[in-house]
């Protein structure tokens, strides 16, 4: 398997369109205008429009709040697997194309450099596809802490991949 830069980009775009379509449909089913939904979420109508048209994508916390306001489950708005793919896509350097390097081998070289807790959280999230809340419960920490640890690990992974895929 090669570093799949274009694959990740395509999946991210597809996710944004699917998420936007779902938000728009759920909003209409709730009988709300974009303006009304924006007021309930304390965001601008323009942001709602960007979400619905796939220009921007809500993060998980925003999707949870949208789901609460629209009276549905967050899984109706955002696909957890697609969210995981998007998170990892951010780690792939722009110029990283297929160059014969196996992503699994790269991850096996990267992971020992993380601390035990960060490594465990990374594996729980990106191998077992657990939510930050589930990981937090497992490690006795809050969801926000897990998100912070994962964000730092992704930044380190991005730097690692950049350094190890340069020609």
pLDDT 10s digits, 59-111: 778 888 999 999 998 888 887 777 787 788 778 766 555 444 567 788 889 99
Query: How far apart are alpha carbons 87 and 101 in whole angstroms?
Result: 20
How would you class 57 by CB atoms within 10 Å of its CB: exposed for 0-12, middle for 13-18, buried for 19 or more?
buried
pLDDT of residue 43 exceeding 70, the answer is: yes
| pLDDT category of residue 13 using cuts at 50, 70 and 90 | very low
pLDDT greater at residue 24 or residue 59 = 24
Segment 14-22 mean pLDDT: 71
pTM greater than the 0.85 cutoff: no
| Structure letter (DSSP) for residue 91 | T
What architecture is domain 90-165?
A: Orthogonal Bundle (1.10)
Domain ranges across the chain:
5-79, 90-165
| pLDDT category of residue 6 using cuts at 50, 70 and 90 | very low
pLDDT for the residue 94: 63
Segment 118-142 mean pLDDT: 92
Query: For residues 5-33, b (16+ Cβ closer than 10 Å) or e, as one string?
Result: beebeebbeebbebbbebbbebbeeeebe
pLDDT for the residue 83: 77
Domains 5-79 and 90-165 alike in fold: no
Query: How far apart are alpha carbons 111 and 100 in whole angstroms?
Result: 20
Query: Is residue 117 within 8 Å of 139, Cβ to Cβ?
Result: yes
Instruction: Write the CATH number of the domain with boundaries 5-79.
Output: 1.10.260.40
pLDDT for the residue 95: 58
pLDDT of residue 1 exceeding 70, the answer is: no
pLDDT of residue 115 exceeding 90, the answer is: yes
Query: Is residue 83 within 8 Å of 15, Cβ to Cβ?
Result: yes
Query: Is residue 39 within 8 Å of 8, Cβ to Cβ?
Result: no
* Crossing angle for the helix pair 143-165 and 116-126, to the nearest 10 degrees: 90
81 vs 48, 113, 127, 167, CA distance in Å?
Answer: 23, 25, 11, 31
């Amino acid at each position: 398997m090669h570093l799949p830069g274009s694959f990740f980009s395509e999946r991210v775009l597809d996710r944004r369109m699917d998420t936007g379509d779902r938000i728009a449909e759920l909003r209409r089913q709730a009988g709300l205008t974009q303006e009304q939904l924006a007021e309930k979420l304390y965001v601008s109508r323009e942001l709602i429009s960007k979400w619905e048209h796939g220009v921007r994508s809500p993060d998980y916390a925003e999707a949870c709040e949208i789901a609460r306001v629209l009276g549905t489950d967050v899984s109706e708005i955002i696909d957890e697997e697609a969210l995981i793919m998007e998170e990892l896509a951010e780690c792939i350097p722009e110029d990283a194309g297929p160059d014969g390097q196996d992503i699994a081998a790269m991850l096996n070289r990267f992971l020992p450099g993380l601390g035990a807790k960060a490594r465990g959280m990374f594996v729980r999230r990106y191998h077992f596809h657990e939510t930050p809340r589930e990981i937090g419960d497992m490690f006795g920490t809050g969801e926000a802490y897990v998100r912070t640890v994962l964000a730092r690990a992704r930044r380190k992974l991005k730097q690692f991949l950049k350094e190890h895929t340069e020609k």
